[in-house]
Amino acid sequence: MNDILNDIRIFIRTQGFLSEEISLEENDSLTGTGVIDSIILLQLIDFLEKKYQVEIPLEMITAENFDTLIGIQKTVMIVQQGMKVTDSDGYDHM
C-alpha cells in the first residue's frame, strides 16, 4: 500500500514537480500546493497505468480521486482490485 504512495512521491520529485525541501503529506491538496496541473496529471496517470498495469477509467479521474496522494493511492487500489464504487453522485465506477 505504501509502495503506491512512495512511487507517486518519487515520480513527482524526479519529474521536477516537487523539490526535496518541500514536504508533501498524504492529504495535502496537490492542486492547492501547485504540485500538479492538468498536464502533470496526465503524465502521472500514464506513469501509474504503466507501473501498475491498469487502465484508469476516465470517469475516475476526478478532483476527489486525484487531488491528494491518499486519493490517488485509493483509486489505483480500486482499479487493481476491479472493484465497483458508487460515488456521491450515484454513478458506478470500476
Q: What is the pLDDT of residues 80-94, one digit of tens each?
A: 998 655 454 444 544
- Which CATH architecture best describes the domain 2-87? Orthogonal Bundle (1.10)
The 10s digit of each residue's pLDDT in 53-89 is 999 999 999 999 999 999 999 999 999 998 655 454 4
Q: What is the pLDDT of residues 29-51, one digit of tens each?
A: 998 888 888 888 999 999 999 99
d(CA 22, CA 75): 24
Q: Which residues pair with 85 in a beta bridge?
A: 93
How confident is the model over 2-22, as pLDDT tens digits? 899 999 988 988 876 666 666
pTM score: 0.80
Q: Residue 3 half-sphere exposure, CB side, CA atoms within 13 Å?
A: 6
